[in-house]
Structure 1
Amino acid sequence: MTAEEFVSEVGRGVALFLDINPPDIYSKGHPAGTYNFPYHRRNWGRDVKRALNGQTPPIGLFGNDTATVDAAAQSLEDEGLSVVFKFGHGLIAWEKEKLPVERVKDLTPDELAKSLGDYVVIDVREAYELRSGKIPGALHIPMGQLQSRINELEKDKAYAIVCASGGRSSSVAAWMSQLGYDVSNVVGGMSLWAGKRHPMERG
């Protein structure tokens, strides 16, 4: 399958396209329609399968080197998932093919703390993850619920999306940007927010 054919499948909602790069690389630019699911060697395929919650779409993988992409593909196939497209040559090569690219605005925890009143913060973690605390005033909408609740959000506001470490929030920010929302990804997520000792709300 060519890149153009696979991009068409993604656009029609038939296939799932995963960018396996770290969140900071993903936010600087990624193929349009990709979700950020950074690759790690231990049980990565199992983590993806769990996130799919029983769905088995054809999957494409994007990364910066072919060896890592091949390893990620093998991890998925070991879990019975079907990888139909691989691209391991990075964003420059993708852009040279004149294929669509998206970029996400980044917001550091320090920048957000200084201008918290300028944003509606959306925490896309699962409920159990909030036990450690959340950003004061943050709206909790788990990533899996956001598509069905997107009409609750007004397009004349600025949004800051946060998760545990920046991976899920990057994907959500990219998707919301496509829909016309003014949205930024909180780099490093709640791990970095807490590490910087910014205010936390519990309960």
Structure 2
Amino acid sequence: MDNVDNLPSASVDEVPADAKILDVREDFEWEAGHIDGAQHIPLGELSARYGEVPVDEDVYVICRSGGRSLRATAFLAGTGFDPVNVLGGMGAWADAEKPMVSESGDEPTVK
């Protein structure tokens, strides 16, 4: 991960309401709580599935706390995408009381 300091990043408050969001957490994390409308590709599958990510728009990449999304942002930037790492991840999203949904219909949580 060369030049990670030069990768674009944004706080959860800087993520536009209509942003394309890529969630790279594991399935169980996604199912517990995620951003409605986000795309889900676990980090471990990203190298095989990155063709599913829109290349013609900014993509805000999020995980639980920011580590996996930073790796995903570095990978995507190296393959021609315009990714933005969301600082603090879903933990910061939940702390900011931003809206989330769960797959079960239960109260969404961040795991």
Q: Shorter chain as normaliser: what TM range?
A: 0.7 to 0.9
1 or 2, which has the higher helix percentage? 1
Alignment partner, residue 106 of structure 1? 9
C-alpha deviation, 1:130, in angstroms? 1.9
Render the CA deviation track for 1:59-95: whole Å, top value 9, x for unaligned: xxxxxxxxxxxxxxxxxxxxxxxxxxxxxxxxxxxxx
Q: Name the amino acid aligned to 2:100.
A: M
Q: Distance in 1 between matches of 2:54 and 2:95?
A: 31
Q: Distance in 2 between matches of 1:178 and 1:150?
A: 12
Render the CA deviation track for 1:94-113: whole Å, top value 9, x for unaligned: xxxxxxx342111111111x
Q: Name the amino acid aligned to 2:101.
A: E
C-alpha deviation, 1:131, in angstroms? 3.5
The structure with higher relative contact order (CA 8 Å, sep 6+) is 2
Q: Which structure 2 residue ranges, 5 or more long, are not aligned? A: 104-111
Report the TM-score when normalising by structure 1. 0.48
Match of 2:17 among 110, 113, 116: 116
Q: Distance in 1 between matches of 2:83 and 2:35?
A: 17
Q: Name the amino acid aligned to 1:158.
A: D
1 or 2, which has the higher strand percentage? 1
Q: Name the amino acid aligned to 1:116.
A: A
Q: Distance in 2 between matches of 1:116 and 1:127?
A: 24
Q: Distance in 1 between matches of 2:67 and 2:39?
A: 18
Percentage of identical aligned residues: 36
Alignment partner, residue 182 of structure 1? 82
1:1-203 maps to which residues of 2 (within 5 A)? 32=2, 101-102=3-4, 103-112=6-15, 115-117=16-18, 119-203=19-103
Q: Distance in 1 between matches of 2:62 and 2:50?
A: 16
Q: Name the amino acid aligned to 1:160.
A: Y
CA RMSD of aligned residues (A): 1.3
User: Post-superposition, which runs of at least 4 consecutive aligned residues in structure 1 deviate over 6 A?
Assistant: none
